[in-house]
Chains A and B, each alone.
Chain A
Amino acid sequence: MKKKFLCLGLIAALCGAMTACGSSAGSSSVSSGSASGTVTKVSGDAFKLGASGPLSGDASVYGIAVKNAAELAIDEINKKGGIQFELNFQDDQADTEAAVNAYNTLADWGMQVSLLTVTSGSGQSVAPLYKQDNIFAITPSGSSTAVIYQDAENNKDPYGNIFQMCFTDPNQGKASADYLAEHTDLGTKVGIIYRNDDNYSTGIYNTFVAEAKEKNLKIVSTGTFTKGATDFSVQIKQAKDAGADIVFLPIYYQPASLVLQAAKNAGYTPTFFGCDGMDGILTQDNFDKSLAEGLYMLTPFSADATDEKTQSFVKAYKDKYGETPNQFAADAYDAVNALAQALENSDVTPKSSTDDITAALTKQFTSMTFQGITAPGDITWNENGEVSKEPRAIVIKDGAYVSAE
């Protein structure tokens, strides 16, 4: 009897080990070309820029995109002379506990400025530590309000030294509802499928529903799922039976790809509409790109934009990593460049104390205008750390992201 349990336990243990194995393998196949070390070394005096994000596990596509783009931006900035950066990017598996460990590793290293974290949950757990040690941080993609506010329910008590490069979740929900209300040609009856145990998904869902009510958008069905769900036929059938001609998916791209598959199996062809979490769906391993044809998403970045900055970024990224950058990469690229611009305009040096650097950067960020690749116009920040910029709608045509306008 005892042996049997030991056996069972061992099997379970091996299963656990195997899943860990599988996810790491996934991450290394996505990361192309940047397998060498996490620390970018430069000669001379450089600002120590820390960051953490998922380089292994479920959300590794985001972490790797951010890391690649940050390295690219830093290479360009360092080549120019002037402000120099040294990047230390730690893996946090998008896990709150691992993020705290990653933060402490970075603190031991002597981090002076930071890109905070890639994902919201991790950002939320380390934000108080950044506040405590008074280190300036700008997150490329941690979109929850809890990343910048201590009281996230009422948007009160901002940390003050933490800024966002991306929209907050509530703003995405509001913008999506506004967009759908204006573009009634896409459809009028909205079905929603969202993940109700996820901060990102529920954040967007709540504001979307509130704004939809204001704009008289008709929501005909609401389906939910939780982490690790693999079968979406029930939710799709629910939306189909309710006659929804738009299905709003405020979720990440892995479950979204399964939703699209389930819709195809059911012969259901509404317009699918997602937010920035949908970005990355085309670069997913073994994904049938034809499924995503006609998928709309509201994201601040589209790789086919014709302005010079975007074009040169996309080209440099493709040359270095062999794939089209997604919105996470673009946000990271902008975040590093914004940091460089702010440091350029202030009089702090890598030898200044972190308190001085933080004070100077906070002053710069709340007063400067930045022009980047994640918005058509100017980008500004308010003193709470929230970004203000225009969203862009893009649609997938012939397996590529194209502007919807």
Chain B
Amino acid sequence: MKEKFKSNRNSTVSYSLVIALFIILSIMSGAGLLGRKYSSLLVPVCCYIVAAIGLNMNVGISGELNLGQAGFMSLGAFTAVIVAGALNFHGVTAPALVLLICIVCGTLIAGFLGWLMSIPVLKLEGDYLAIVTLAFGQIIVNIINNVYLGIDENGLHFSFVNNSIQMQEDGKMLISGPMGATGVNTASSFLAGFLLVLISLIVVYHIMNSRNGRAIMACRDNRIAASTVGINAVAEKTLAFVISAALGGAAGALYGMNYSSFAATKFDFNLSILILVYVVLGGLGNMTGTIIATTLLVVLPEVLRFLSIYRMLIYAVVLIVIMIVTNNQTIRLRLKNLRQNKKESGKGAKTNG
């Protein structure tokens, strides 16, 4: 019963944090207090939060280290570009509608490929699994890097490695190999990003507090013990993996519709690691922490711009310091004591008053 309360409290904190942040930032952005620099970061922050929440489902809740989240993001992003290109070509241009269809398609495609991938991947455990997901992430990016896709009145045209597409006069290239997606009509907005974050939180908390969620966590804590009480470990892990991939795809779709031009090389191994850093810093299984960590780490390099050429150096140093500080037992204990003291003094003040 106590557990249930705790998880409910966690989710309430997450929801209120996200909603409060959205309201404050919307007002600030509307009043022009943020400037273009920070306003333009709002959507990418939402993308990374969704991707990180998805990854936390896999790494934190299911306990499987996944190093291929950027691969799923790229799937979502390029699916979104193709769908948006096709919709625009046929005269559908309402941004909200295009974005909704793109995100749904991106989520489904990434989720489906996540499921396909989970068949060989979940046969493995621990480090081996991590390495295989890493390889899959690379494969996806390398394949997309060689895809040429165009659209004209006869439909979609596709070629691989070398561009051999012959199109009608009104044809338009959607993806051109290493040049990536070009000339996408952007459709993302902060509101859409906020809603996506909210939906992903609802999905993840709902699963965490369900029978499946408890089974997933049981498998994480002790797979053999879980299997002996009749839990289908592979099925539960697959569920977590697919949810993670699908959220990665949704994040990618939002990302893709936010930039008018991007290449597949953006979604390389480094990005996967970056998202993992958000998750680890935020705390495994801790969604509120993930949201805060992601926001901080995405905005940090932009805040540090005044440092000119030392920017990335300082960023790396700050990252190391944060990692060490947040994992130091003594500091954690002190923080805890501080919080308890505050609570007690608060109580004391009340009784006195």
Contact = CB atoms under 8 A, between A and B. Distances in A.
Q: Do A and B interact?
A: yes
Interface of A: 1-2, 4-6, 8-10, 12-21, 23-25, 27-28, 31, 35, 37-38, 55-57, 90-91, 93, 95-98, 100-101, 104-105, 107-108, 121, 124-125, 127-129, 144, 146, 150-153, 196-199, 201-202, 206, 226-227
Contact of A17 (B130, B172, B262, B320): B320
A108 B173 contact: no
A16 B262 contact: no
B313 A16 contact: no
Nearest to A131: B260
Contacts of A13: 273, 276-277, 280-281, 319, 323
Interface residues of B, number: 66
Which 6 pairs across A and B sit closest by C-beta, in order of nearness?
Answer: A24-B313, A104-B36, A16-B273, A197-B145, A9-B280, A24-B312
B187 interface: no
Contacts of A100: 40, 259
Interface of B: 35-37, 39-41, 44, 59, 63, 65, 67, 126-127, 130, 142, 145-146, 150, 161-163, 172-173, 176-180, 182-183, 220-221, 259-266, 268, 270, 273-274, 276-277, 279-281, 284, 301-302, 305, 308-313, 315-317, 319-320, 323, 327
A5 B284 contact: yes
Contacts of B146: 196-197
Contacts of B316: 17-18, 20-21, 24
Contacts of B41: 101
Contacts of A12: 67, 273, 276-277
B65 A91 contact: no
Contacts of B182: 124, 146, 150, 152
A104 B284 contact: no
A10 B309 contact: no
A63 B173 CA distance: 30
A143 B280 CA distance: 40
A153 B323 contact: no
Nearest to A5: B65
B44 to A, nearest CB: 7
Given A1-B63, A24-B312, 19 more contacts: A8-B127, A8-B130, A9-B284, A10-B280, A13-B280, A16-B270, A16-B273, A17-B316, A20-B312, A96-B259, A97-B262, A100-B259, A104-B37, A128-B260, A146-B179, A151-B173, A197-B142, A197-B264, A199-B263
B53 to A, nearest CB: 16
A196 B277 contact: no
